[in-house]
Amino acid sequence: MAAEQNIEQQVGSLVLQAEVSSVSPLPYPVPNADEEWDLPYGFARVYYAEGFRGVRRPVVMADGFNLGPSDLTAFYAGLDRDHSLITKMRQRGRTVILVGFQDRTASILRNAETAQAAIMRTIAEQLGDDRLAVGGFSMGGLVTRYALARMEYQRMDHRTALYFSYDTPHRGAVIPIGIQAFAHFIPTLPGQQNDFARQIDSPAAREMLFRHYDSDTGTVQEDPLRTEFLRRLQEVGGWPRIPRLIGVANGTGDGTGVAVRPGEMALKSTGAVVFPGTTFFTQATGDGVTVAELKRLLPPASKTVTTDGLPELDGAPGGTLDSYGIIAKALEEKGGKTDLRHPTVCFVPSVSAVAVRDIGNQDDLYVKIDGLAPDESELDDFICSSETTAHTAITADLCEWLLDRLPN
């Protein structure tokens, strides 16, 4: 039985990764940076426009959430592999500055200091007086949003003409509550790392998640760190007011989401050695809704995880994550067997990515954004994907839309 316990402990090494951060840099040919900058709590790589030397017409882009430090080689590859976003920017005469963080799970407030330093360094280094485009992908959009708003609040000139966000959870992100609870259900020995629980319980995750599972109390609520982050964001005005604000959603705007019915089995561990019988269910509305039945071998334990008052989050229109698929893969890699029905669910609802309405309300969560008045969004302009795509996936229509709106 000790071997079975060790196998279950090893599942704690899994992490949930988004499209951009999970792309391997190989064999994609990522060029050497023209400059590398050390920044407070982070770093940046600078890629000059093709045929030019020096920083001109700069675009500053911040990395998103994951465990550990940013991998800017993987970040470049993820942005450029499918539709050459960075290459097209450089071909159009723009310098691209990729901003990374020493710890991507650290508070958004701390990593905003890295973004602010990158903006100020860009201003100091640039040739000419072109105004900046500044934004980020997923969490990077929140980091840069706060950094720009705080700079304005402090009367600092950020010289930014355009702020952009790419599938950023302005209204919050969603990881199924059953999965959050499972992260803490994985057994560990004293001093042993559980990367999955570290990721779910990290400051940045708690600031971004619409609802967080408290492993100490078993309750589901807005985490106090999120409450404080939202308060600090409003304290500096909520948004930067000087630049034009635009956003991209990987989910659709027609009210169509992932083909996931509420209350169905999403995943079950059917083997005999890795969390046998553990079952996850898709989120349904109502109170006392069972979202997971967790079971483990050693130390023997079982737990029923329920929610109250949540909307049908898993099937909502939005950028997706292979949340249950990642769990299933981890179980199978340790010798388990699974019955996987719904590998992919909503991660960043479309209404969150384009800052419209409230993801806690069922009708708002599934609203047809395309039919709303433009002024319902806090952004000046936005686009939703023509079809449901993975969170932060670089698609042709979203890529070209963003490129066409960069400042002249």
Residue range 288-292: mean pLDDT, rounded: 98
pLDDT at 4 over 80: no
Single-letter amino acid, residue 58 = P
The reported pLDDT for the residue numbered 24 is: 57
Bond prior to 176 in cis (omega within 30° of 0): no
Angstrom distance (rounded) from CA 20 to CA 136: 12
Among 18-32, 248-262, 300-314, 378-392, name the one with the lowest average pLDDT. 18-32
The reported pLDDT for the residue numbered 206 is: 98
pLDDT at 129 over 60: yes
The reported pLDDT for the residue numbered 359 is: 96
The whole-model pTM stands at: 0.95
Q: Which residues contact 101 (CB under 8 A, 6 or more apart)?
A: 41, 42, 63, 69, 70, 111, 114
Residue range 371-389: mean pLDDT, rounded: 96
Burial tier of 95 (Cβ tally within 10 Å: 0-12, 13-18, 19+): buried
* Reported confidence tier of residue 286, pLDDT bands at 50, 70, 90: very high
pLDDT at 102 over 90: yes
The H-or-E segment that residue 365 falls in is helix 362-365
By DSSP bridging, strand 132-137 and strand 160-166 are parallel
Q: Which residues contact 94 (CB under 8 A, 6 or more apart)?
A: 49, 56, 57, 58, 59, 406
The reported pLDDT for the residue numbered 191 is: 76
Mean pLDDT over each residue of the chain, to the nearest integer: 94
pLDDT at 387 over 90: yes
- Give per-residue pLDDT as tens, 335-368: 999 999 999 999 999 999 999 999 999 999 999 9
* Reported confidence tier of residue 10, pLDDT bands at 50, 70, 90: confident
Angstrom distance (rounded) from CA 238 to CA 77: 32
268 three-class SS: strand
CA angle 187, 190, 195 (to 5 degrees): 55
193 vs 249, higher pLDDT: 249
Q: Which residues pair with 301 in a beta bridge?
A: 296
Angstrom distance (rounded) from CA 82 to CA 394: 7
Bond prior to 27 in cis (omega within 30° of 0): yes
The reported pLDDT for the residue numbered 190 is: 78
- Give per-residue pLDDT as tens, 214-261: 999 999 999 999 999 999 999 999 999 999 999 999 999 999 999 999
Q: Is 51 left (phi over 0), alpha (psi -120 to 50) or beta?
A: left
pLDDT at 18 over 80: no
29 three-class SS: coil
Q: Which residues pair with 19 in a beta bridge?
A: none
Q: Which residues contact 217 (CB under 8 A, 6 or more apart)?
A: none
* Reported confidence tier of residue 311, pLDDT bands at 50, 70, 90: very high
Helices (H), 304-360: 323-333, 350-353
Find how far residue 18's CA is from the centre of its chain.
6
